[in-house]
């Protein structure tokens, strides 16, 4: 049975304060839950009997079969689906040494949960396993962010730290940054490993982090002499940058 206290707790996970206190996060949706259920410790799962009938064994501490309007009462979505679940936030340890042999994304002040979730999804697509974020970057466990990852959160680890302090310790590793005054990404030599910094939607990369960037990159518009938009959405820019890095690795360009 879905109690009022349970409803209050689940809905409280919309706020970062309560997510931090409980060390939990909320996920909703038939496909999303099915995708991430094997990867995270599930505290509570609420679902319609019809959805449960399509699943195998479900690993959860508490299973509630939704009755009548239970999901409408607890869901944060405008149109609730057949299942939602509360998961325990995983506790990852960032291995700085491993980053020297792979490509990783660094997010400096990304504010929009949708952008954040989309970037996690892009990282998953391009085989990037770790995101290192400034403390003011959107919370990965915001329900809107979780929704936007479309399940990629299960395969991409996200860390939060003071970027200037952390980057100052990352010796002998290239640090790329996306800037409007950088060098043309299509003509520059790119390393198969390193850190790619993407900045805030409006302000770009902060001055303190900019000092740590060893190579500034720019995505040119086409044709170059044409009048165009001032800049790209940060998620769109991330997709282009990641694609170009992988293209040059695959085709040895």
In order of their start, the domains of the chain are: 4-88 (3.30.1330.30), 96-250 (3.40.1280.10)
Instruction: Flag whether pLDDT at 231 surpasses 90.
Output: no
Residue 44 confidence (pLDDT): 98
Crossing angle for the helix pair 113-125 and 234-250, nearest 10 degrees? 10
Antiparallel, parallel or unpaired: β 175-184 and 157-160: unpaired
Q: What does the block give as tokens for 87?
A: 């998961």
Give 215: exposed, middle or buried? Use CB within 10 Å, 0-12, 13-18, 19+: middle
Answer left, alpha or beta for residue 164, where phi above 0 means left and psi between -120 and 50 means alpha: alpha
Could you tell me if 182 and 157 are in contact, meaning their C-beta atoms sit under 8 angstroms apart?
no
pTM for this model (two decimals):
0.95
Task: Determine contact, residues 142/20, Cβ cutoff 8 Å.
Answer: no
Q: Say how far apart CA 134 and CA 170 lie, in whole Å.
A: 15
**Would you state the pLDDT for residue 228?**
83
pLDDT digits (tens, 9 = 90+) for 28-76: 999 999 999 999 999 999 999 999 999 989 999 999 999 989 999 999 9
Give residue 1's pLDDT: 75
Cα diameter, the chain:
64
**For 194-210, how does the pLDDT look when each residue is reduced to its tens digit (9 = 90+)?**
999 999 999 999 999 99
- pLDDT tens-digit map of 82-135: 999 999 999 999 999 989 999 999 999 999 999 999 999 999 999 999 999 999
What values do phi and psi take at 246, rounded to 5?
Answer: -70, -35
* Residue 172, CA atoms < 13 Å, CB-side half-sphere: 5
d(CA 57, CA 60): 9
pLDDT tens digit sequence for 140-179: 999 999 999 999 999 999 999 999 999 999 988 999 999 9
Buried b vs exposed e over 169-206: b needs ≥16 C-beta within 10 Å?
Answer: ebeebebbbbbeebeebeeeebeeebbbbbbbeeebbb
Q: What is the mean pLDDT of residues 16-21?
A: 98
């Amino acid at each position: 049975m879905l109690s009022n206290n349970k409803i209050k707790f689940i809905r409280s996970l919309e706020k970062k304060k309560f997510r931090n206190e409980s060390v939990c996060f909320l996920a909703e949706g038939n496909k999303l839950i099915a995708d991430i259920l094997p990867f995270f410790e599930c505290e509570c799962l609420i679902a319609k009997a019809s959805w449960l009938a399509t699943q195998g064994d479900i690993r959860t501490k508490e299973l509630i079969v939704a009755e009548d309007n239970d999901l409408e009462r607890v869901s944060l979505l405008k149109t609730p689906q057949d299942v939602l679940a509360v998961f325990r936030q995983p506790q990852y340890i960032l291995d700085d040494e491993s980053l020297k042999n792979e490509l990783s994304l660094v997010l400096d002040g990304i504010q929009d949960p949708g952008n954040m979730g989309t970037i996690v999804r892009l990282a998953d697509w391009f085989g990037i396993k770790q995101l290192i974020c400034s403390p003011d970057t959107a919370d990965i466990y915001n329900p809107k962010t979780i929704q936007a990852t479309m399940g990629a959160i299960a395969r991409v680890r996200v860390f939060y730290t003071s970027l200037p302090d952390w980057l100052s310790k990352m010796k002998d590793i290239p640090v790329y940054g996306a800037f409007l005054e950088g060098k043309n990404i299509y003509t520059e030599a790119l390393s198969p490993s390193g850190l790619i910094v993407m900045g805030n939607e409006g302000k770009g990369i902060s001055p303190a982090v900019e000092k740590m960037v060893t190579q500034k990159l720019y995505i040119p518009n086409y044709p170059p002499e044409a009048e165009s938009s001032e800049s790209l959405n940060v998620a769109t820019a991330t997709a282009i940058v990641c694609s170009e890095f992988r293209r040059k690795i695959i085709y040895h360009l």
